[in-house]
Chain A
Amino acid sequence: MAVAVLAAVTAVVLGVLWLAQGRQQAAPTADFGAVPSTAAGAAGGPSGTAPPLPATEQAARTDAAPERVVVPGVGLDARVEGVGVTERGDMTVPDDPAVAGWYRYGPAPGGAEGSAVLVGHLDSETGDLGEFAALRDVRAGDTVEVRRAGAEPVAYRVTARATVPKDELPPSAFRRTGPPVLTLITCAPPFEPERGGYTANLVVTAEPMDTR
């Protein structure tokens, strides 16, 4: 029932935004929540060498590599490995649809600022659904937990989800400064084999839960 309501609302929102997009610069299509498009800090200034980490508790670590991402509400549970970019400059996505990739050039989940990016396949080339396919059912307020190597897990709360054409991923998803968020990315329909497959991305934004 909840899905049906969400679906109806989403359809309306998407429809409205679709009309809006026809005549102006395409903005991210919000499924729900506010999607930051040109958040501050897209261009940071030069800075010196990062200061050495202060000797703090593990929970406060901001650079620990993520090992697992879990969204209990939708049954998403994926191992995470660090990824970079391909020869062509696209983000590397782990071939295994059960594994998520963390964009290791950007902030780590639990970082003090910027957008930590996790990516996962929607489906594979061999007929398997990806763990990140579950993002379709994510709702505002859902909890996302990221378990980290040698540090306490960090928890986020989903605040927005958007469907955007692949070539218009908002730069804010990869910003390295500004308020800390977790960004989960997978593919989204339409599926057009003649154009290389899925032509859109699903982008889920989550904000750190206040643990103080």
Chain B
Amino acid sequence: MRTRFPVAVVASTGACALALGVAAPAVAAPAADQDMATVSVVHGIPDMTVDVYANGDELLSDFEPGTVTDPQSLKAGTYDIQIFEAGQGPDGTPALEKKVEVGEGDTATVAAHLSADGKPQLTAFADDVSKVDAGKGRLTVRHIAAAPAVDVRAGGEPVFTGLTNPNEDSAVVDAGTVEADVVLAGTDTVALGPAELNVAEGASTVVYAWGSAEDDNLALATQKFSGMDSMPKAVHAGGDGTAVSANSTEWGAGWIALGGAAAVAGVLAARRFAGRRG
């Protein structure tokens, strides 16, 4: 996806995924691998490069603030997630530690971030990867910044209001690019942005507001999940019947000769008779 944020922003790149110690296939459909879960990690603690361990095994190394990993397949189960300052693990004292349970088929993102009052913490978010209608995209905003409640606006209109750390809000919207900004809840005081945000069709775009208001380093990071597309409801590509009209002998005769008209009429009649038609 293309995002052009005037503020510091890091789209989910493959860079960190390469460092993953687990031998994960690029991406597996969540439902396909029965005992697997899909897990992403986001780093939202400013000024601290970290190593991430899961059950004592290094999952990510030299993980930079503002980075989101690609989704990775992990066996479903409970993971002891430990965050160390880079190079300090696994025998030292973790900067953060949390047990995270991921169930079969779950899609989750674990965020290392600051609490509203600036203390490092780990939060696990369930990622909604359910289908969206054709032409739509899902937009989710997660507040993981040391900052008070915020409103998120698109084109100047509030989309999400009163969002607090460490919570999220989500909506299915028309796909396309919107100009988004983040304001202090109930005010016009811009905390972040405006930024051009591409809500991809048939996908879920997750935006993280991270950093610290006090330290003046609030920033956005984005994450994308694809494969939530639906086909259009129908394709109406006909007009006034010219192609089958009596005075268009060539076409009318052609269709009849093909038998298409009669057979499809039969199909429709049979289906109506069978009661499958509304």
Contacts and interface: CB of A to CB of B under 8 A. Distances in A.
Contacts of B26: 47
Contacts of A29: 263-264, 267
B260 A189 contact: yes
Nearest to A103: B232
Nearest to B13: A49
B127 interface: yes
A187 B236 contact: yes
A212 interface: no
A178 B144 CA distance: 37
A118 to B, nearest CB: 11
B239 A11 contact: no
Contact of B231 (A46, A88, A173, A188): A173
B232 A198 contact: no
Interface stretch (A63-71, A142-150, A160-168): A160-168
A73 B228 CA distance: 37
Contacts of B88: none
Contact of A122 (B27, B238, B258, B264): B238
A21 interface: yes
Given A21-B267, A123-B243, A169 B134 contact: no
Interface of B is mostly: loop
A171 interface: yes
A132 B239 CA distance: 12
A54 interface: no
Given A105-B229, A176-B202, A10 B237 contact: no
A201 B71 CA distance: 38
Nearest to A197: B238
Given A4-B257, A49-B13, A169-B234, A133 B27 contact: no
Contact of A124 (B71, B229, B242, B274): B242
Given A43-B29, A43-B31, A129-B242, A105 B202 contact: yes
Interface in B248-272: 248, 251, 254-255, 257-268, 270-271
B165 interface: no
A176 to B, nearest CB: 6
Contacts of A171: 231
A43 B29 CA distance: 7
B224 A48 contact: yes
A121 B259 contact: no
B267 A119 contact: no
Given A49-B12, A120-B237, A123-B241, A136 B231 contact: no
Interface residues of A, number: 76
A97 interface: yes
A211 interface: no
A204 B44 CA distance: 49
A196 B235 CA distance: 12
A211 B29 CA distance: 31
Nearest to A120: B237
A89 B233 contact: yes
B11 interface: yes
A180 to B, nearest CB: 16
B190 interface: no
A185 interface: yes
A85 interface: yes
Nearest to A105: B201
Contacts of B17: 48
Interface string A171-209: 101101100000001111111010011111100000000
B243 A129 contact: yes
B229 A122 contact: no
Interface string A124-140: 11111110110011000
For the complex of A and B, the 5 pairs showing the least CB-CB separation, nearest first, are: A11-B259, A44-B227, A48-B70, A187-B238, A14-B263
Interface of B: 1, 11-14, 17, 26-32, 38, 68-71, 107, 127, 129, 131, 133-135, 175, 201-202, 204, 223-227, 229, 231-244, 248, 251, 254-255, 257-268, 270-271, 274
Given A7-B257, A15-B263, 9 more contacts: A49-B1, A85-B232, A122-B243, A126-B240, A130-B237, A136-B258, A186-B238, A197-B236, A200-B260
